[in-house]
């Protein structure tokens, strides 16, 4: 508890999906000075805005969650935008933190940084053993540069920054916009909409053979806050739940919980994305005692309940 009480903390993306839960966890731990920059006030793609943010917030710790993100479709349509905006935000926020004399910088990477054919479970040492899956490589590589920067800055300047690699997130407050949402909210929305409109089927991208791992958003927030308190090395750390599920099994689960009774049409002209995804989460447990607590079915039920109430 004592770690946060007197520290000034800036959470970029603090009003977003993951950020809102991180802010709640910080408050629960006694953090009284949390600054959440609004994108209309601080466009972090601009270096001057990053500089101004440090001047205004005077943080001891920055948790950098702000990102341009989306599912496979959004990544395919915006590879340049996703690369440039994520790279500029992260690199400038870390550089300005160094110049400011920041106590600690917490950078969030992405599972999309891993090579396309990483052996399962993904170990942190595998990060550089190949090129990422093509549909989201620009995004994944932009975020991966924060790891390079973090390690280089620790080596040259003694700058304290850490780099976390969360697996795909899901949960209440997720983005349900079909143009940019990830697979779980997209499937939930498809099922609920189809039932409301009495449609006979839903169409799902790919073949259903690809596998994924999903981490409940509140568990991820807990992992980030624990790492911020207890971890001070530049070696990357996976944050995951330690299981693997095929997209076909995922669809069956969501269809069952929502109660959709229609047909599932698989559109195999659309990409599956990375063939398999599952993380080795042993380092997070060893380094700062993090383990995911929320069972997957329970987490999906909570997400569906929240979507039903919040619409």
Catalytic sites, residue numbers: 139
Identify whether the C-beta of residue 307 lies closer than 8 Å to the C-beta of residue 188: yes
> Measured between alpha carbons, how far apart are the two ends of the chain, in Å?
36
What lies within 8 Å, CB to CB, of 209 at 6+ separation is 246, 247, 248, 272, 275
Give how far Cα 182 sits from Cα of 24, 113, 160, 195, 298, Å.
Answer: 23, 17, 32, 20, 19
Q: Give SS3 for 161.
A: strand
Q: What is d(CA 185, CA 172) in angstroms, rounded to the nearest whole number?
A: 9
**Cross-strand pairs, 61:** 9, 104
Q: From the CB of residue 99, how many other CB atoms can be counted at a distance below 10 Å?
A: 12
Encode burial over 19-58: b for 16+ CB neighbours within 10 A, e otherwise: bbbbbebbeeeebebbbbbeeeebebbeeebbbebbeebe
Do residues 224 and 164 touch, judged by C-beta distance below 8 A?
yes
Q: In residues, how long is the chain?
A: 311
Q: Which residues contact 131 (CB under 8 A, 6 or more apart)?
A: 115, 116, 137
Q: Tell me the C-alpha distance between 166 and 182, whole Å.
A: 14
Token reading at 68: 């341009």
Kindly state the DSSP code that residue 115 receives in the 8-state scheme: B
CA distance 292 to 226: 12
């Amino acid at each position: 508890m004592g770690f946060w009480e007197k520290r000034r903390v800036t959470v970029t993306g603090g009003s977003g999906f993951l950020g809102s839960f991180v802010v709640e966890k910080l408050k629960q731990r006694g953090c009284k000075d949390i600054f959440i920059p609004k994108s209309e006030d601080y466009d972090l793609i601009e270096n001057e805005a990053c500089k101004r943010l440090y001047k205004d917030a005077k943080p001891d710790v920055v948790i950098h969650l702000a990102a341009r993100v989306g599912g496979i479709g959004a990544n395919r349509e915006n590879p340049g935008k996703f690369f440039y905006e994520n790279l500029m935000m992260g690199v400038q926020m870390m550089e300005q933190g160094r110049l400011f004399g920041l106590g600690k910088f917490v950078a969030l990477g992405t599972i999309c940084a891993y090579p396309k054919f990483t052996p399962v479970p993904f170990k942190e040492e595998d990060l550089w053993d190949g090129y990422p899956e093509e549909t989201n490589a620009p995004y994944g590589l932009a975020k991966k540069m924060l790891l390079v920067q973090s390690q280089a800055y620790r080596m040259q300047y003694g700058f304290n920054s850490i780099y976390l690699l969360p697996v795909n997130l899901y949960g209440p407050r997720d983005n349900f916009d079909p143009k940019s949402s990830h697979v779980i909210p997209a499937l939930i929305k498809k099922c609920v909409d189809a039932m409301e409109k009495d449609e006979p089927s839903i169409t799902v991208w790919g073949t259903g053979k690809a596998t994924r791992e999903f981490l409940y958003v509140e568990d991820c927030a807990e992992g980030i806050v624990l790492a911020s308190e207890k971890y001070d090395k530049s070696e990357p750390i996976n944050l995951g739940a330690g299981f693997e599920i095929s997209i076909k099994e995922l669809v069956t689960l969501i269809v069952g919980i929502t109660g959709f009774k229609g047909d599932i049409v698989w559109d195999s002209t659309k990409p599956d994305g990375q063939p398999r995804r599952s993380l080795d989460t042993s380092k997070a447990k060893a380094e700062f005692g993090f383990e995911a607590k929320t069972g997957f079915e329970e987490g999906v039920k909570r997400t569906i309940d929240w979507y039903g109430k919040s619409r």
